[in-house]
A and B are shown apart, each in its own frame.
Chain A
Amino acid sequence: MLLKKVLIEKTIATGLQTGADFAEVFIEDTTTENIQLIGGRVEKANSQKIFGVGIRLALGLQSVYGYTNSKNPEEILKLASDLSKSFSNDKRTAAIPLGEPDVGSHHKARINPRTVSRSRKVELMRSAYAAAKEYDPVIVQVAVNLGDVVQNVLVANSEGRFAADERVRVRIYVNAIAGKDGVMQTGGEGPGAAKGYEYFFDELDIAEIARDAARAAKTMLFADECPSGVMPVIINNEFGGVIFHEACGHSLEATSVAKNASVFCGKLGQQIASPIVTAIDDGTIENGWGSANFDDEGYPQKRRVLIDKGILKTYMVDKLNGRRMNHAPTGSSRRESYKYAPTSRMSNTFIANGTSTFDEIIAATEYGLFAAKMGGGSVNPGNGDFNFAVSEGYLVRNGKIAEPVRGASLVGNGAKILWNIDMIANNLERARGMCGSSSGSIPADVGQPTLRVSQITVGGKKGAK
Chain B
Amino acid sequence: MIMMNLELLFKTAKARGISDVQVFLSDRSELSIEVFDGELDKYEISASSSMTIRGVYNGKMGTFVTEVFDDEILPQIVDSIIGSAKIIDALEDAIIYAGDKEYAKLEGLFDETLKNQDVAEKIQNVKKLDKAMHEADPKVTTVETMYSETTRRILLQNTKGLRLENVVNSAMIGGSAIVKDEHDQRTAFDLIISNDPKDLDVGPLADKIVRDAVSALGAKPIPTGAYEIVFKPEALQTLLSAFQGVFSAEAVHKNMSLLKGKLGTVIGSPLFTLVDDPFMKKSSRSRSFDDEGVATKYKALIDKGELKTYLYNLVTAKKDGVVSTGNGFGGSIGPVNLKVLPGETRYEDMLASVRNGILVKDVQGAHAGANPVSGDFSLQASGFVVKDGVIGAPVALITVAGNIIQMMKDVVAVADDLKTGYFGITSPSVKIKSMAVSGI
Contacts and interface: CB of A to CB of B under 8 A. Distances in A.
Interface of A: 35, 38-39, 41-52, 61-71, 79, 82-83, 86, 118-119, 122, 140-141, 143, 177, 179, 183-186, 226, 228-230, 259-261, 263, 339, 341, 375-378, 380, 382-383, 385-389, 406-409, 411-413, 457-464
Contacts of B369: 375, 377, 387-389, 409
Nearest to B29: A68
Contacts of B256: 38, 141, 143, 177
A461 B440 contact: no
Contacts of A46: 62-65, 84, 331
Contacts of A41: 89-91
Contact of A375 (B46, B187, B368): B368
B380 A411 contact: yes
Interface of B: 2, 36, 39-49, 61-68, 70, 73, 76, 80, 83-91, 141-142, 144, 176, 178, 185-187, 221, 224-226, 254-256, 258, 331, 364-365, 367-369, 371, 373-374, 376-380, 396-403, 436-440
Nearest to A117: B83
A340 to B, nearest CB: 9
Contact of A229 (B187, B397, B438): B438
B142 A43 contact: no
A141 B45 CA distance: 44
A35 B65 CA distance: 14
Contact of A67 (B46, B254, B368, B436): B46
A406 to B, nearest CB: 7
B397 A118 contact: no
Contact of A409 (B66, B90, B378): B378
A47 B79 CA distance: 11
Contacts of B41: 61-63
A311 to B, nearest CB: 22
A246 B377 CA distance: 19
Contacts of A67: 46, 48
Contacts of B436: 228, 459-463
B365 A377 contact: yes
Contact of A461 (B187, B397, B402): B402
Nearest to A459: B399
A143 B398 contact: no
A86 B43 contact: yes
A48 B331 contact: no
Contacts, number: 244
A141 B255 contact: yes
B185 A382 contact: yes
A86 B378 CA distance: 46
- Which of B39, B225, B374, B380 lies at the interface centre, i.e. has the most chain A CB atoms within 10 A of its CB? B380
Contact of B438 (A63, A65, A457): A457
A465 to B, nearest CB: 9
A386 B365 CA distance: 8
Contact of B39 (A42, A62, A79, A389): A62
Nearest to A56: B44
Given A62-B39, A407-B401, A409-B379, A49 B66 contact: yes
8 contacts: A44-B88, A46-B331, A66-B44, A259-B142, A339-B48, A377-B369, A383-B187, A411-B438
A236 to B, nearest CB: 16
Contacts of A70: 2, 47
Contacts of A412: 397
Contacts of A389: 365, 368-369, 378
Contacts of B176: 382
B221 to A, nearest CB: 6
Contacts of B400: 459
A47 B400 CA distance: 41
A49 B88 contact: no
A420 B182 CA distance: 23
A154 B303 CA distance: 54
B76 A341 contact: no
B365 A383 contact: no
Contacts of A413: 397
B90 A42 contact: yes
A387 B438 CA distance: 13
